[in-house]
């Protein structure tokens, strides 16, 4: 019991670091853990290391919305949320947006644990169907992305530019290729555009209670669950594409529903990845892959794994509220232009450390595409072509 508690506590602490610092991902910690495995196994047991990775991943999925909303530095699962989140921020409701993502994450934990316990064997019957029709689902998503835009012709151009960039970048030998690409498409470009239009950060409202649309919330979470299960089962289809699937299932969610969705996607993706690990013996997630390097768990491990996830989720919800409130207070004491320029410089400085000098060229290119998207008032969703087009080409 003591070892179990220590493993979860350390996992949560590391999740705070990966969740709040742009570019530091769960996969980095998982890689370091595997490299140190011979030493770690002398100090603890494989199951405790698994509990550590689960609590780390859950905490990260709860807190990574904070830098996405406040700083505009997303990872793959949060990229789509940068613009709606930024809209909340410049309207004085940044904390409100974070609370919505936490609702999404907590709702995802409750729904995924319930469905996994009750319907795990049944869920696995749909695996062959999903594997057969993945390509067609992705093509359907692309058609919806383009036709739902105000100007489909411009949308095709933006989609092609972002998709071509994604194909080049993801087929390169670059380390951490997603950081400069997504930071440019969704982060620095958004910040630069907002810098032109906003000179001050509006006073932020620290709301104790927010009105909930329960029907819409359940609808969005159901869409997120289906999308999260789909991407957890299918190889090469990540959390970013899961968000697109969910948007197709709930197209009229608005910014409110969108923030809940963004909060839920990473959590759904990870918890359902535990299903594929214990039932199919396949890893669809970096942290889950690391667990398989320690030992290969079977079905009886699913319940303790889900218990670990629930404990980490409960603590992470409280941590998210506390940290989001403290960070927004600090941000309000800094002039908006100074804050924005500092964040952009931080992303620029982090890029060569995480992705090398080539990463700077990718950051400049992706920022240019992001600015073009904003200038033409095209939906930012088209920039997700950087992930979805390489996956489609891989499946063809």
Which range marks the domain in which residue 76 is found? Answer: 2-395
pLDDT by 10s per residue, the chain, length 396 = 567 788 899 999 999 988 887 667 777 787 778 878 888 888 888 888 889 999 999 999 899 888 878 876 555 555 555 567 778 887 888 898 899 999 999 999 999 888 887 777 776 677 666 667 778 878 888 888 898 888 899 999 999 999 999 999 988 888 878 888 888 888 788 778 777 765 567 777 787 777 778 888 899 999 888 888 777 776 656 667 777 778 778 878 888 888 898 888 888 888 888 877 777 767 666 677 778 778 777 778 888 888 999 999 999 999 999 999 998 888 877 777 787 788 888 888 888 988 889 999 999 999 999 999 988 888 888 888 888 898 888 877
Q: What is the pLDDT of residue 159?
A: 93
Q: What is the pLDDT of residue 245?
A: 77
- Count CB-CB contacts under 10 A for residue 32: 12
Question: Can you tell me the distance from the alpha carbon of 158 to that of 304, in angstroms, rounded to the nearest whole number?
Answer: 45
Q: What is the pLDDT of residue 199?
A: 57
**Measured between alpha carbons, how far is residue 306 from residues 18, 35, 51, 224, 269 in Å?**
21, 26, 10, 18, 13
DSSP at 16: H
SS3 379: coil
Hey, what are 48's tokens?
């405790």
Report the domain count for the chain. Answer: 1
| Alpha helix positions (H), the chain | 2-20, 26-35, 37-43, 46-63, 65-71, 82-90, 94-123, 127-147, 152-170, 178-182, 189-197, 214-233, 239-249, 254-280, 286-294, 302-332, 336-355, 357-375, 385-395
Q: What is the pLDDT of residue 283?
A: 64
Give the global pTM.
0.81
């Amino acid at each position: 019991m003591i070892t179990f508690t220590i493993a979860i506590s350390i996992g949560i602490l590391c999740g705070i670091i990966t969740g709040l610092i742009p570019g530091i991902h769960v996969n980095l910690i998982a890689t370091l853990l595997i490299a140190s495995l011979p030493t770690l196994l002398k100090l603890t047991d494989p199951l405790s290391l698994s509990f550590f990775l689960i609590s780390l991943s859950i905490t990260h999925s709860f807190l990574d919305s904070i830098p996405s909303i406040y700083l505009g530095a997303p990872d793959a699962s949060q990229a789509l949320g940068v613009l709606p989140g930024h809209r909340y921020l410049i309207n004085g409701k940044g904390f409100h947006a974070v609370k919505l993502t936490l609702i999404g994450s907590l709702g995802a934990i409750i729904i995924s644990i319930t469905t996994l316990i009750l319907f795990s064997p049944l869920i696995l019957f749909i695996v062959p169907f999903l594997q057969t029709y993945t390509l067609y689902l992705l093509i359907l998503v692309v058609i919806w992305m383009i036709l739902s835009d105000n100007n489909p012709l411009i949308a095709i151009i933006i989609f092609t530019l972002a998709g071509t960039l994604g194909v080049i970048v993801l087929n390169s030998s670059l380390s951490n290729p997603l950081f400069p690409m997504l930071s440019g498409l969704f982060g620095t470009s958004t910040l630069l555009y907002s810098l032109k239009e906003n000179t001050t950060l509006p006073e932020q409202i620290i709301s104790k209670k927010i009105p909930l649309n329960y029907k819409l919330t359940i609808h969005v979470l159901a869409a997120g669950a289906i999308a999260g299960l789909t991407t957890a089962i299918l190889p090469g289809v990540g959390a970013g594409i899961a968000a697109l699937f969910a948007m197709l299932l709930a197209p009229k969610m608005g910014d409110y529903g969108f923030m809940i969705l963004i909060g839920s996607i990473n959590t759904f993706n990870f918890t359902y990845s535990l299903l594929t690990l214990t039932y199919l013996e396949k890893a669809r997630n970096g942290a889950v892959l690391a667990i398989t390097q320690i030992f290969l768990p079977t079905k009886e491990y699913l319940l303790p794994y889900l218990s670990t996830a629930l404990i980490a989720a409960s603590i992470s919800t409280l941590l998210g509220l506390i940290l989001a409130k403290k960070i927004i207070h600090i941000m309000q004491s800094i002039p908006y232009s100074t804050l924005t320029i500092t964040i952009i410089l931080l992303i620029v400085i982090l890029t060569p450390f995480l992705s090398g000098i080539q990463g700077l060229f990718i950051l400049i290119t992706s920022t240019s595409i992001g600015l073009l998207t904003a200038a033409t008032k095209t939906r930012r969703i088209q920039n997700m072509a950087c992930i979805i087009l390489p996956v489609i080409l891989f499946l063809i």
